[in-house]
Amino acid sequence: MGIVHKPAARSYFSKRRVISTPEFADVISRERFELISKFLHFIGNESLPTYQGPSILFKIYPVICHLNIKFQTLYLPNQNIATDESLTLWKGHLPIKQYLPLKASKFGIKNFELCKSRTGYLQCFLVYTGKNTVLQLSLITPDTLKTAAVVLELLEPLFGCGHTLWIDNFFSSPELARKLKIEHSTDCVDTLNLNRKNVPKEVKDKKLQKGGNHSQTFGSSHSTKMA
């Protein structure tokens, strides 16, 4: 299926002359294939009491963990990395399906991803399962902003490695910048909404000329606050 691409799984078992590929039906019947796909697990049901991940991802959570480990061990990104949202197209019924009108695929499964800036190599990802998305990092406290917690979870394997993280205003906050720089020796560059919590008053009152930015403000009078 990775080589022969068809619009739907049933198309691989079609007997129509135009699209027929008999090798698939020779190996397994369509009914057997659909039955296995319906009940496919990558973890035993008996593991549920000790399972710490999001319940809706129970069947495939070991695969997600395996992929993240492989992505992180096979390649070390250069200095500039970025985190953002992505949407995997999905039009079926699913409780975690999201609607993001600005994305190319407006309906689907939302992921938070950490990537290498220049090539887009995926370093690690986190599947968004709603407000109760499970984060495993122990240093995340109950008062940590949810968006900041997501960034810390994704970036944890690269703490103190000299990287510069680029983020947009969805994730950025003074708290996150402070944690990354002071506690984890990681620089960050972002756009900041001035209505975010704990934004210094001097930054909010700063009048910018056309095409200007707040970098000088952060670099001088707020170096101790924003590091």
Q: Is 180 exposed, middle or buried (0-12, 13-18, 19+ CB in 10 A)?
A: buried
Q: Which value, in Å, is the radius of gyration of the alpha carbons in the chain?
A: 22
Cα 187–129–181 angle (5° rounding)?
A: 10
Write out pLDDT tens, residues 46-98: 776 566 666 788 888 889 989 999 999 998 898 999 999 888 888 888 888 98
Q: What does the block give as tokens for 115?
A: 């990537």
- Per the CB < 8 A criterion, the answer to whether 113 and 199 are in contact is no
121-136 pLDDT per residue, tens: 999 999 998 877 877 6
Average pLDDT over residues 186-193: 85
pLDDT at residue 109 above 60?
yes
Is the distance from CB of 193 to CB of 204 less than 8 angstroms? no
What is the pLDDT at residue 216? 42
* Domain coordinates in residue numbering, the chain: 1-40, 79-226
